Structure 1
Amino acid sequence: MPLQICILETDVLRPELIDQYQSYGRMFEQLFARQPIAAEFKVYNVMEGRYPPDNEHYDAYLVTGSKADSFGTDAWIQTLKTYLLERYNRGDKLLGVCFGHQLLALLLGGKAGRAEQGWGVGVHRYQMANKPSWMSPDLQELSMLISHQDQVTQLPGNATLLASSEFCPIASYCIGDQVLCFQGHPEFVHDYSRALLEARQQHIGETAYSKGVESLQQDHQGHTVAEWMMRFVAHGRSGLNG
């Protein structure tokens, strides 16, 4: 039986990128199709007020990245926080990427805000701080594509740090077998990151832009993160331990 995953989209793509990449939900579907654990997906854009019906059940809910601030006061963000807290209190599994990573940290007792380090773009490397049993294949170091100016600055009290770097000390964390989050974007591909860099060149500054473009010569391990995510969801589920 495939895992059932609900993708909660928290943004729409830039108009000039829609033809090629369609949506963040579609990018995640393409990413997860390349990992070995069978999964099926439904996508709801919560920024546009769309949520799954009450009678639909999922093995996990994934919160995507967004240009919005996780600490923003937009009405749709407040609605999403209420929804995610309900899911968490019911024991549902939650996955977060970038904005989702920060929002879940805030929601569950941590802190997030604008990073003093400035923009993080391109390929970034992290050291693994902890390696739970579901984190297979094993890596000593993790490379991910990133695009963020906000960071988690304090973990929720019951969270475990998974990956870290000097630039981004809280790059990944989990809360037991229920929450798993990453600051980086496993769903990004090099060409999409390059297009974002071009579009944001003036905003992020020439130094960060140049370093980001140069870093795109390196590979990234988004496919491994996708497998970790599905193994995390499958972990503890009867017959789904992959």
Structure 2
Amino acid sequence: MIYEGQNGELRGNGNGNGKVKGKRFGVLLCAEESGYIKEKYGGYFGVFERMLSEEGESWDVFRVARNEFPNDEEIQEYDGFVITGSCSDAHSNELWICKLLSLLHKLDFLKIKVLGICFGHQILGRSLGGQTGRAKSGWDIGLRTINFSLSSKEDLPNRQIFTMLNIIECHQDEILELPEKVEVIGGSNKTAVEMFRYGDHMMGIQGHPEYNTDILLHLIDRLLQKGLIGVNYADELRAKFKEAGEPDMEAWRKLCVGFLKGRL
């Protein structure tokens, strides 16, 4: 089979056409993007592609929140998928969320790599038998330090620098409980399940390794405009974030790439 890559080039999947298959990844987009994010970053797909893609790979987007899903034949052509954040609740039973859960069960059965981010982390945990819901401590917006468990350090790339890492957070839901088969490998003083792994093919991160300061400040403005947070809280968040320092974006990038590309 021949398919078209992101830059219009033709790629082969190695099934008798004489071409070597390049790695292929899909972004399961669960968010509705603002005009600002689309114009400046090419949408959240553009953010993830720039963060995770390497030479010779093909990256595609499926807008699952609009019911755009890969079919059963297509999913087997992919080396991995990334599930994005969302304004929707992972504990909801909206039609597209139920279809996403069904897709994740198939990806688990096929042992295809899945990286879940924020909402993606939560829905991935739910698909594995966990429970999600509103965080008892309320919104977590800003910079947070993730502490890795002792057992996880042997499984992470460059483990000597991953005792703890700073990451941008923006969520009001969380994973409340995971089954024993899933290993929690990171937590914080705000959220117990900041990161987990299941086997070698599924990993969730509650924070946003793809976010920079500009994206977070834009999201604070959007949350304020939608009435999800108040003016005083928004002002407090902006002031705190300016003093908080920077997230460890490069370390998170290496960790996510290492997981997706099988280098852990």
TM-score by length of 2: 0.81
- Do structure 1's residue 99 and structure 2's residue 119 form an aligned pair? yes
Aligned to 2:58: 40
Aligned residue pairs, count: 235
Q: Aligned partners of 2:135 and 2:256: how far apart in 1?
A: 26
Q: How far off its partner does 1:61 sit? A: 1.3
Q: What pairs with 1:139-218 in structure 2 (closer than 5 Å)? A: 139-201=162-224, 202-206=227-231, 208-213=233-238, 214-217=240-243, 218=245
Q: How much is the aligned-residue C-alpha RMSD, in angstroms?
A: 2.2
SS at match of 2:33: coil
Q: How far off its partner does 1:234 sit? A: 2.8
Question: Mind listing any 5+ residue stretches in structure 2 that lack a counterpart?
Answer: 1-20
Pairing partner for 1:221 from 236, 239, 248: 248
SS at match of 2:114: strand
Give the letter aligned to residue 70 of structure 2: P
Q: Aligned partners of 1:208 and 1:28: how far apart in 2?
A: 29
Aligned to 1:28: 48
What are the superposed Cα offsets for residues 124-164 of structure 1, whole Å, 9 maximum, x if unpaired?
A: 11111122434325322111111100011112321111111
Give the letter aligned to residue 226 of structure 1: R
- Do structure 1's residue 233 and structure 2's residue 251 form an aligned pair? no
Pairing partner for 1:52 from 70, 91, 94: 70
Give the letter aligned to residue 219 of structure 1: E
- The answer as to whether partners of 1:4 and 1:39 remain within 8 angstroms in 2 is yes
Q: Aligned partners of 1:124 and 1:206: how far apart in 2?
A: 22
- The answer as to whether partners of 1:119 and 1:208 remain within 8 angstroms in 2 is no
Q: Aligned partners of 1:160 and 1:64: how far apart in 2?
A: 21
Give the letter aligned to residue 230 of structure 1: V
Q: Aligned partners of 1:128 and 1:139: how far apart in 2?
A: 7
SS at match of 1:194: helix
Aligned to 1:9: 29
Pairing partner for 1:117 from 126, 131, 137: 137
Q: How far off its partner does 1:9 sit? A: 0.5
Aligned to 2:103: 83
Q: Aligned partners of 1:216 and 1:180: how far apart in 2?
A: 30
Q: How far off its partner does 1:216 sit? A: 4.1
- The answer as to whether partners of 2:153 and 2:163 remain within 8 angstroms in 1 is no
What are the superposed Cα offsets for residues 60-79 of structure 1, whole Å, 9 maximum, x if unpaired?
A: 11111100000111111111
- The answer as to whether partners of 1:127 and 1:164 remain within 8 angstroms in 2 is yes
Q: How far off its partner does 1:203 sit? A: 2.3
- Do structure 1's residue 131 and structure 2's residue 131 form an aligned pair? no
Q: Aligned partners of 2:207 and 2:23: how far apart in 1?
A: 23
Q: Aligned partners of 2:90 and 2:260: how far apart in 1?
A: 24
- The answer as to whether partners of 1:185 and 1:222 remain within 8 angstroms in 2 is no
Question: Mind listing any 5+ residue stretches in structure 1 that lack a counterpart?
Answer: 236-240
- The answer as to whether partners of 1:65 and 1:97 remain within 8 angstroms in 2 is yes
Aligned to 1:238: none
Give the letter aligned to residue 136 of structure 1: N
SS at match of 1:180: strand
SS at match of 1:203: coil
Sequence identity (%): 24
Larger RCO of the pair (alpha carbons < 8 Å, separation 6+): 1
